[in-house]
Structure 1
Amino acid sequence: MAEESDRLITAGTPIFRRTTLALFAAGFSTFAVLYGVQPLMPVFADEFHVSPAESSLSLSLPCAMLALALLVVSPLSEVWGRKPIMVASLFASAILTLIAVIVPSWHGFLALRALTGLAASGLPAVAMAYLSEEMDARAIGLSMGLLIGGNAMGGMVGRLIAGIITDHASWRVGLGTIGILALVAAILFWRGLPPSRRFLPNRMRWRQVPGTFGQHFRDPGLPWLFAEAFLLMGGFVSVYNYIGFRLLDPPYNLSQSAIGAIFVVYLAGTFSSAVTGEIASRLGRRRVLWLAILLGLVGILMTLSERLPLIIAGIVVVTVSFFGAHSVASSWIGRRALRDRAQASSVYLCLYYLGSSVLGTAGGWFFEHAGWSGVVAFFGALYGLALAIALRLSRLPPLVPGPSSDPDR
């Protein structure tokens, strides 16, 4: 047992840096490919003559496909291994993005986007399971935060590149550039990630798969964490889906480059995910999650202002809140699920991406019928419910302590 413990990856070591850098690149690639289209939604609405809600399908469809595919891919990773699944996912999603930019029709483009989401499903849940298996308990909060920081950086750079290049060339060139960057990130990941050292392959019996998923819903805490993923991501993505429509119109009249530049605030997410993950590892996830969500409600109220600096400040606060809360909740999944962690992670991320898809598109209805104040009300309802759940989780009795120094199971 001591020998097995010695093989865990600890913070500050060369292998820790190598692992987190590779996973940072993977998170970068996945989020750049998925969310690079977000600032382009007004462009899609104009070019293809669709509504704001319909233009959001360029993001909602891949997120929905990713969410559903997670439930199949994560059990496969228990058989084929973590790294092979993740490598295939990153290369396939990058190549499909490059193909999508040459498709002329809206429906053809959406079909390629849906396939991209399907391909991208091999990374998120499997990466969380990899970290839960390979990292020392004291390092998992920081490593998960850095993975999510890669997500934030990819989301920011993808949106920024897409917005700026669209102003000077076309959205196809912008999205194609993202595909090339994703391909480079896939190569870095393939060469950099250490093979699993503690993974033990299982023989997959598909009849048993529903039971392995079902056991997580019998836990008193995990279903509530799954619900948090749905609510938090749904509210967050609604803000970013429709803020561009608001700021392109009077009195702001911002350019597509300026809209893309607003996504630089994703840097705040990179910082907050790592810092909040580390704080939660020290103080306990029960004490940190609800505070991070409350911060988001403060931020969304700030965006009701008509002053552009205050609107952007509110978006920064919402971003810090979301990535902090997501870092806490996702790392809690890995500690709370004592077995079949990949399945637990995949359920969490299934709800996460369904939130992005279903609630992100639903936010378009509120924007079309009540403008930005409708989006704020929608966000407030989602985060208010998430706050109530977090307060419930703060009173959740811990599991019987296992061989881990993490007290927050």
Structure 2
Amino acid sequence: MMEAGLRVGERTYKRATLAMLAAGLASFNAMYSTQAMLPTLVKELGISPTASALTVSATTGMLALCIVPLSILSERFGRGRILILSALLGTLLGLALPFVAGAGSLILLRGLQGALIAGVPAVAMTWLSEEVHPKDLGRAMGTYIAGTTLGGLSGRLIPAGVLEIADWRWALGISSAVALALAIAMALLLPRQKNFHPKQISFRSELSAMAGHWRNPRLSGLFLIAFLGMGSFVSVYNFLGFRLIESFGLSEGLVGLVFLMYLAGTWSSARTGDWSDKFGRDRTMIIAALLMLAALALTAVPKLGVVLTALFLFTAAFFTIHSAASGWVGTIATTHRAEASSMYLFCYYLGSSLLGWLSGFFFAEFGWAGMLLWLAGILLGLLVLVVFLTRREAPTPGAEAA
């Protein structure tokens, strides 16, 4: 029999939300721990910017490949078990990263780390939706999402700060130790699930449900928006550091502070629902896509203040699209919603991995301006998809696709 769920004010609710905050902090710290130090890795390991980007792309790529299977396995073995094992093993592996012999070993271990840590984004929201009372679920989800944002931010700022006084191995080691401590805190705090009931799993039926979602034009459009949007977003952050160092003479530590712009995404995500209610989801997404294109173009201006302002707008616009699109998936997919959400996340992280890596070739061959043209083409495709989706939207909010 299903229990009512955890409520605000209960001791177990507080433990659950603190555990999910720690889960987000730990996993996303580990996921992006090398992004702020890509220029340093190029110099210290003697590799190209494209190869250095693989330390991020290998992680997000393997995470993308494993997020769906781990989501399916959690139906049989439990969300909490997958969550704890994933966070502990993924962050524990991080302690080995400072001792690698070269770039190849670092990329290999980062890929394995992505596979191990995939269980956190795969099941965290499902755990909350099963255990927290519906009236308090929004607040609990917000705490987890805040953890992922701040975790990604700390995964960039901690190594960048340490680089000012030590080498990249110390930077990576200290960041990994922080992530492991947070994962241990999560494992100790997370309450035992009461509303989970294991079921027999069939990969064939799960994959069939996902294939059915791809046959829905609006859902497939949202999956592609996740792929293109995240791919272009990560590409800018992967290679902007090189531009800031070469064109404006900033140090690696100062470049790391640029990732504070992620807070623009925290701000815009929290307001996307209000904007959609006031202006309509279609106008909100179209304006955000146009703003991403305009801000991308402004990063070519040879003035640091203009570049930083453009990055703020670019970040806020991307997270507006992401928040609106991810919420839209749950509205359109009236059946097999977990599978639809998993497919959205798969495309989201696959875009981060694949496009974030491919953009390196354009940056290496044609510089910042050449990469901007490549990304502008991607964002034009995203804009076309957004317009297509808004024109296909049913006249009544939340109506199911035919």
Same fold (TM over 0.5): yes
- Alignment partners' CA distance in 2, 1:136 and 1:395: 35
Q: Where does 1:168-247 land on structure 2 (aligned, <5 Å)?
A: 168-196=165-193, 198-247=195-244
Q: Residue 375 and residue 143 in structure 1: after superposition, are their counterparts in 2 closer, same or farther (change >3 A)?
A: farther
Which amino acid letter does the alignment assign opposite residue 345 of structure 1?
S
**For 1:79-100, what per-residue CA distance to the aligned partner results, in whole angstroms no more than 9, with x for missing partners?**
1222221121111111011111
Q: Which moves more between the two structures, 25-34 or 43-52?
A: 25-34
Q: Separation in 2 of the partners of 1:140 and 1:299?
A: 34
Distance 1:256 1:101, change over 3 A: same
Gap change, CA 1:111 and 1:242, over 3 Å in 2? same
Shift of 1:40: 1.2
Deviation at 1:184, TM superposition (A): 2.4
Distance 1:380 1:39, change over 3 A: same
- Distance in 1 (alpha carbons) for counterparts of 2:24 and 2:6: 19
Distance 1:277 1:321, change over 3 A: same
Residue of 60, 67, 70 corresponding to 1:70: 67
Q: Is the 8 A contact 1:37 1:159 kept in 2?
A: yes
- Report the Cα distance in structure 2 between the residues aligned to 1:393 and 1:141, rounded to whole angstroms: 26
The residue correspondences of 1:46-65 to structure 2 (distance < 5 A) are 46-65=43-62
Aligned to 1:373: 369
Deviates more, 1:346-355 or 1:332-341: 332-341
8 Å CA contact 2:33–2:175 kept in 1: the answer is: yes
How many angstroms does 1:119 deviate by?
0.6
Q: CA deviation at 1:38?
A: 0.8
The answer to which of 67-76 and 216-225 deviates more is 216-225
Partner of 1:167, secondary structure, is: coil
Following TM superposition, by how much is the alpha carbon of 1:185 offset from its aligned partner in structure 2, in angstroms? 2.1
The alignment partner of 2:108 has SS state of helix
Matched to 1:121, the amino acid is: A
**Match 2:346 to one of 350, 368, 373:** 350
- 2:274 aligned with 1:289: no
Range 118-127 or range 325-334, more displaced: 325-334
TM-score, L = length of structure 2 = 0.89
Counterpart amino acid of residue 380 in structure 1: A
Structure-1 residue corresponding to 2:30:
33
Give the 3 Å change call, closer, same or farther, for CA 212–369 of structure 1 in structure 2: same
Letter of the 1:239 partner, please give it: V
Are the equivalent residues in 1 in contact too, given 2:158–2:175 (CA < 8 A)?
yes
More moved, 264-273 vs 116-125: 264-273
Cα 1:12–1:408 shift into 2, 3 Å = farther
Residue by residue over 1:58-103, the C-alpha shift from the partner in whole angstroms, topping out at 9 and shown as x without a partner, is 1111111111111211111111222221121111111011111112
Residues 1:270 and 2:255 are matched in the alignment: no
C-alpha separation between the residues in 2 aligned to 1:110 and 1:188?
A: 28
Give TM-score, length-normalised by structure 1.
0.88
Q: What is the distance in 2 between the residues matched to 1:326 and 1:349?
A: 11
Question: In structure 2, the residue corresponding to 1:214 is in which secondary structure?
Answer: helix
Aligned pair partner of 2:105 in 95, 105, 108:
108
* Residues 292-348 of structure 1: CA deviation (Å, up to 9, x unaligned): 323222221221211101111111111111222222222333343334333222211
The aligned amino acid for 2:149 is A
1:306 aligned counterpart, secondary structure = coil
Deviation, structure 1 residue 143:
5.4
Change (3 A) 1:211 1:98: same
Contact 1:86 1:126 in 2 (8 A): yes
Mapping 1:299-338, distance limit 5 Å: 299-338=295-334
Offset of 1:206 from its aligned partner?
Answer: 3.0
> Whole-Å Cα distance in 2 between the matches of residues 377 and 137 of structure 1?
45
Size of the alignment, in residue pairs? 401
Listed one character per residue, the Cα deviations across residues 34-68 of structure 1 (whole Å, up to 9, x for unaligned) are: 11201211111122211111111111111111111
1:9–1:270: structure 2 CA closer, same or farther, 3 Å change rule?
farther
Note if contact 2:39-2:252 (Cα within 8 Å) is conserved in structure 1.
Answer: no
Mapped to 2, the partners of 1:210 and 1:330 lie a distance apart of 20
- Alpha carbons of structure 1 residues 128 and 378: separation in structure 2 relative to 1, 3 Å: farther
State the Cα deviation string for residues 354-406 of structure 1 (Å, max 9, x = none). 111110011111111221112222222222221221222223345999xxxx7
> Which runs of no fewer than 5 residues in structure 2 stay unpaired?
none
Asked if 1:383 corresponds to 2:379, the answer is: yes
Deviation at 1:159, TM superposition (A): 0.9
Q: 1:360 aligns with which of 356, 381, 396?
A: 356
Equivalent AA in structure 1 for residue 200 of structure 2: R
Structure 1 stretch 155-164 or stretch 265-274: which is displaced more?
265-274
2:152 to 143, 155, 158: 155
Measure, in 2, the Cα distance between the counterparts of 1:387 and 1:144: 28
Query: How far did 1:14 drift?
Result: 7.8
Q: Bigger shift: 255-264 or 298-307?
A: 298-307
